[in-house]
Structure 1
Amino acid sequence: MKHYSLVLVALLVIVTLPLMAQKRLSEGTISYDIVINTGTDKPQGADFLDGATSAVYIKGPKTRTEMVSPLGTQSTIIDGTKNTIVILKEYGEQKYLINLKPEDWKDANKKYEDVSFTYDNSASKTILGYKASKAIGKLKDGTTFTVWYTTDLLPENKDFQYANKDLPGLALEYETNMGNLKVTYTVSKISFSPVPAAKFDIPKSGYRMLTYNESKKGL
């Protein structure tokens, strides 16, 4: 009987170890560096984005993604409790606020719908101290992109990375396409410090209000 109990305890430990290793990321900040690959040494129109950064602030079901570039700042605030999405664009003196419905957010990310992932279990590397596994994402149009993700961290709300939301963990390095250009995001810092609630406040003035359809016109 004693031997049976020891075997049972050992089995429980084996089963629960993966669950204990995975940390649920319910609050903190994830910072990414952005690199544009033009495929040539000649200056390109998107070179000004090189050196841009992206920061994701997480507080439970709320996220705020801020992309900062020489052009300005674009922030996307998602409130999972209210199912609302707001985009703020600040380019010099021009400031826009765009309210999106869930169907608008889905339309804005329609190219990432039904993305399928192929996992390469033979490839791994360490990024910022986390073991990262390789996955190849394939879009409906046949376009592919590479993602390095860790199963050690699982964000509570993954809609801030629409293309990678179905991964079994957090994307630490991933590619996106901007026309014919390849954009690579690589995590540079992860902080578990509390995020002020004010970070998710929506401005009540100082911004020109746009509908989603108006914003699609390139404003």
Structure 2
Amino acid sequence: MLAGFIAGSASPLWAQRTISDARISYKVEMPAEQLQMEAMFANSSMIQYLRGHQSRIDMNFNVVNYIYLINAQEETVVTLMDNHGDKYLIRTDKKGYEQDTKKYSNTQFTDQTEIREIAGYKCRKAIGKMEDGTTFDVYYTMDLIPENKYYNRRFMNLKGIPLEFEIVVKSGSKMKVTATKVDLSPVPASIFDVPKGYREITADELKKIRG
């Protein structure tokens, strides 16, 4: 645990280190056609939390928000969805967790020559290729190595923390996610508590709600 160290200071440290705690804030740029359909998607954001074997992803699309609570030790995921105040909770058991992990286990990342600085860290470009042939760009820093490589299974085979990456949406377009701040101070355990006020439903029921 790297208590008290906050990245993005005037003199970033470039030495490679393994981290157990982190809070990474990202801005999300939606595809142009998505913004044309729904302007409220503008200024979307994401936060990635890490704490030991637990991780959390907050996706704020303004019109709908998602929270993913991931426990790599227990191999479970709790998905929380807030759609205009309608709040739903979906639990993924160990079997579902393993199926989702397998989906990304064969993702390959090929390093490119391009180097950029993002949120105070030197990042190398890589091209990710999923098992179905889908590709996406990612810029990652090797200065930060996650103790828990399953904190975000999309990047379990990446050699560092992604600070900019693309997410392919259903239409085939890509939204870009770029880090704006990296905070390596301790993350409170309460961040991973399941909040109250959500109605528990199944994954199939969620699909029907999403249409």
TM-score range, shorter chain: 0.7 to 0.9
Q: Does 1:200 align with 2:187?
A: no
1:47 CA displacement? 4.5
SS at the partner of 1:217? helix
SS at the partner of 1:199? helix
What's 2:15 paired with? 21
Q: Does 1:54 align with 2:52?
A: no
User: Whose radius of gyration is greater, 1 or 2?
Assistant: 1
Q: Which amino acid aligns with 1:151?
A: M
CA pair 105-214 structure 1, distance change in 2 beyond 3 A: farther
Q: TM-score, normalised by structure 2?
A: 0.83
Q: TM-score, normalised by structure 1?
A: 0.80
Q: Does 1:30 align with 2:21?
A: no
Unpaired runs of at least 5, structure 1: 1-19
Q: Report if the CA contact (8 A) 2:50-2:151 is conserved.
A: no
What's 1:215 paired with? 206
What's 1:135 paired with? 126
Matched ranges for 1:51-200 at <5 A: 51-107=43-99, 112-120=104-112, 122-178=113-169, 179-200=171-192
How much identity, in percent, do the aligned residues show?
36
Q: What is the number of residues matched between the two proteins?
A: 196
| Root-mean-square deviation over aligned CA pairs | 2.3
1:65-103 CA distance string (max 9 Å, x none): 111122132100012232221011112321111100233
Q: Which amino acid aligns with 2:17?
A: K
Which structure has more relative contact order (CA 8 Å, sep 6+)? It is 2
CA pair 169-70 structure 1, distance change in 2 beyond 3 A: same
SS at the partner of 2:205? helix
SS at the partner of 2:30? strand
